[in-house]
Amino acid sequence: MISSLTPDSVVEHAHPGVAVEVRKAAMGDIAPVLDLINAYAAQGIMLPRTEFEMSESIRDFSVACVDGRPVGCGALHFYTPTMGEIRSLAVDAARKTHGIGRRLVEALIAEAEGYGLDAVFAFTYVPQFFHKLGFHEVERGELPLKAWKDCLRCPKFQACDEIAVLRILRPEHWQETHAWLLGQRLPADGSIQLPVVKLL
């Protein structure tokens, strides 16, 4: 869940000579996407990914390419029939200010709209980046409980300092679905309660 977007990712400058293509990822993109993600994982900013994990989830990913080479990635992961998460957002450190993060998020939002999702959410250290793209901050407990499954392997599991942000894509349907999406909230202290398995 940890995003690579940090405060230096927010500043964007015009780079008219840089042509960026955003497209769905292919199997051949697994190695460069892993390089992007795991470079941030080595700094404790993102969760590490394996080749096996990427092979399973490559259909979630889009990549931003310059001169045919992936320099950024992001994924749209579905959690409910009406809601998805924008995750694994990573941009080559040398290109963070080129607007590539924005282009990726915009492409993932368009994909979510194409699937008819009511809303998308993300976890971030830089909510102001997402504010510019129409997201607003929400309590983490307002998100589907399944969204927390990756937290189990996060080193910040019991002390998460990321901020949850949400963008409503179809307001007319949001009110209908919102009640059941709020089915389980986190306790006031923000800790995650794991389900208790009862043996018969």
Contacts of 150 (CB under 8 A, 6+ apart): 1, 47
Cα atoms in the Cβ-side hemisphere of radius 13 Å centred on 3: 27
State the pLDDT at residue 189. Answer: 43
Mean predicted lDDT score pLDDT of the chain: 78
State the pLDDT at residue 94. Answer: 84
State the pLDDT at residue 2. Answer: 44
Q: Is residue 186 part of a domain?
A: no
pLDDT digits (tens, 9 = 90+) for 102-144: 999 999 999 999 999 999 999 888 899 999 999 999 887 667 6
Number of H helices, E strands in the chain: 5, 7
Domain that holds residue 116: 7-179
Of the chain, the percentage scoring pLDDT greater than 90 comes to: 48
Q: Do residues 152 and 193 lie in contact, with contact meaning Cβ atoms separated by under 8 Å?
A: no
Q: Is residue 112 part of a domain?
A: yes
Lowest mean pLDDT among 43-47, 55-59, 77-81, 178-182: 178-182
Is it the case that residue 155 has pLDDT exceeding 50? yes
Q: Is residue 28 part of a domain?
A: yes
Instruction: Using alpha carbons, select from 7, 66, 67, 70 the residue that is nearest to residue 35.
Output: 70
| 83-91 sheet: strands from edge to edge | 20-24, 61-66, 69-80, 83-91, 119-124, 163-168, 136-138
Cα distance between residue 33 and residue 69, in whole Å? 10
Kind and range of the H or E run holding 129: helix 127-131
Selected residue with higher pLDDT from 4 and 87: 87
pLDDT digits (tens, 9 = 90+) for 9-42: 444 444 556 789 999 999 999 999 999 999 988 9
The total number of structural domains in the chain stands at 1
Instruction: Using alpha carbons, select from 87, 3, 95 the residue that is nearest to residue 41.
Output: 3
Q: Is residue 78 part of a domain?
A: yes
Give me the CATH number covering residue 41: 3.40.630.30
